[in-house]
Amino acid sequence: MDRRQWMLAPLGLWVTQAQALSFSETDAAGGVRAALERGALAAVGLLGRTDGFMGHPTLRIELPGALKSAAKLLKATGQGKRVDALVLAMNRAAEAAVPQAREVLVQTVKKLSVEDAIELVRGRGDDAVTRFFETKTRSPLTERFLPIVTRATEKESLAEKYNAVAGKAQGLGLVKDEDANIQSYVTRKALDGLYWVIGEEEKKIRQDPVGTGSALLKKIFGSH
């Protein structure tokens, strides 16, 4: 079996020797970079705008764990507007932070080595590229997102109460440690949403590379 045939086999991209010879390892690297950049820009474009999170049926950020019950009590006592304002602030904070991801994501794509690209093409699963992307970018993006989220949420007086209540709930095991601070919670959820969209875009590319309209993606991911 040709080396490139073997390289693509784990993805189910079995190709003939003639097809395998039609692209190089550099092409493979270019294909992975194109897939990464496509997913990154799609995620930033979708989520980094008004209602990107708030209006999304899957990624809308809600209060975590036991705090949902606390929110119901607040609404029952006539403080529903304050709860709604906090939820809106959390989602607006995530939407404001996401555009900051563009530079980090694009630079990470540019730094992708041919060796890493080959491993990703060989990787199993329909989100191998996204998982690699996340390991490289979650930490620096957390550093970029957190200050923006903090500025956006501290405008809501209920945010301070969230942290106080969540801190107590954390001590009782009712709220996860990472959810006990609203700024950290929103930052994490914003990043989760970002990688979710990138992953969905990767799945689309693998399932229908021709539909992307990219000759390179069709060449690398469409050689069945």
pLDDT at 24: 64
Pairwise CA distance, residues 52 & 178, whole Å: 23
Query: Are 8 and 122 contacting, i.e. CB atoms less than 8 angstroms apart?
Result: yes
Mean pLDDT, the chain, rounded, equals: 77
Structure tokens at 201: 């875009």
pLDDT in tens, 142-162: 999 999 999 988 877 777 877
Query: Are 184 and 178 contacting, i.e. CB atoms less than 8 angstroms apart?
Result: yes
How many beta carbons lie within 10 A of that of residue 212, not counting itself?
Answer: 18
pLDDT in tens, 164-212: 777 777 777 767 777 778 899 999 999 999 999 999 988 877 776 655 5
Structure tokens at 20: 């395998």
Q: Check whether 38 has a pLDDT greater than 60.
A: yes
- What's the pLDDT band for 63 if we cut at 50, 70, 90? confident
The model's pTM = 0.78
pLDDT in tens, 72-100: 766 667 766 777 888 898 999 999 999 99
